[in-house]
Amino acid sequence: MATSLVRQTKLLSIVSSQLNPAACFRNIHCTAACLKNRAARIREGKGDKSVTYEQAYHPHHIGHRKGWLSQHTSNLQGEDGAAERVVEDVFIRRFMYGTFHGCLADEVVIKRRGNLLVICAVMIQKLLPSKFYFLIGYTEELLSHFYKCPVKIEMQTVEEKVVYKYL
């Protein structure tokens, strides 16, 4: 089916070029839009946009200059459950973003050790420590009951967002 489609496209382009030899080639775009060149990249601008280290380096630097944001063993050979882990991670990131609204200084790192789910977050010192502890207790309890596994939060605070460079 794919080969016939490609052949059809070629035919179509040949026909159209023959009809109008001076026109540029218009091809049919027949794959889904992946935009692999634009994911997780902040484009260079005027120089007033501050970016963190995580945001400054592009996805091809993962493993070279950046670490992984989510650590689990489902991607090893013979292990399953990778898709479920991804869905859980997405939910956890949104949950953290909403619960600690405006306090997150950087992306949340999620580590899985056996049954234990460790959420490592860097926060800005925007709230009082007692309020932080309230939200920590709430998050740990709710996520433990939701995912039926122990959930621990390891939090670190900074005074303001750590800027790596300005783009």
Partner 1 sequence: MASSCSQALKQHVCKSSTILRVHLQKSWPKRSFVLNSAADQQPAVSSPEEIVIPKKKTWSKEAVLQALASTVSRDPTASDYRLQDDPYLTPKTSSEFKLFSLSQESGKNAAKYFINTYPKYFQKDYAQPHIPCLMPETLEAQIEEVSEAALIERIHMRKVKAAVDLYDQLQQAGTPVSLDVTNQLLDLICFYGDSDPAQENSDEMAQENTLSYHKRSPCLVFSFRENNNAERIFALLSEPNTHSYSALIRGMVKYGAYSKAFSTYTDLLNNRLKADVNTFNALITAAPEVKEKYNEKWELIVDLLKELAEQKIKPNLLTLNGVLKALRRCGTLGKSQAFPVLSEMKALSIGPLKTHSHAFPIMLCSAGAPFLGQTDILQEVMNEVSGKSFTPQDPDDGICLLLQRCLLTKDIEQAYSVHELLGVGENWRLLGNDLQQNIYYARFFSLLCMMENIDVMLKWYRDLVPSVYYPSSNIMRDLLQALDTDNRLDLIPQIWKGDRGKVIMSWTATSLSDVISVLLAAQRRQDAWEILKLFKTHNRVPSEELLNKFLTCVTESGEVNHAVELVQISAGFCLPETPKLIQRVQQEFQLSEQQK
Binding site for partner 1 (CB under 8 A): 125, 129-142, 144-149, 153-157
DSSP-based helix, strand, coil % in the chain, nearest 5:
35, 20, 45
141, 84, 97, 64: CA torsion to nearest 10: 120
For the bound state, the minimum distance from the C-beta of residue 116 to partner 1, rounded and expressed in Å, comes to 13
* Local structure of residue 153 (DSSP, 8 states): E
Q: Based on CB atoms, which residue is closest to partner 1, 40 or 142?
A: 142
- Please report how close the Cβ of residue 66 comes to partner 1 at its closest, in angstroms: 23
In terms of CB distance, is 74 or 125 closer to partner 1?
A: 125
Q: By the 8 A CB rule, do 52 and 158 touch?
A: no
Q: Which residue, 56 or 105, is less far from partner 1 as judged by CB? A: 105
| In the complex, minimum distance from the CB of residue 45 to partner 1, in angstroms, rounded to a whole number | 32
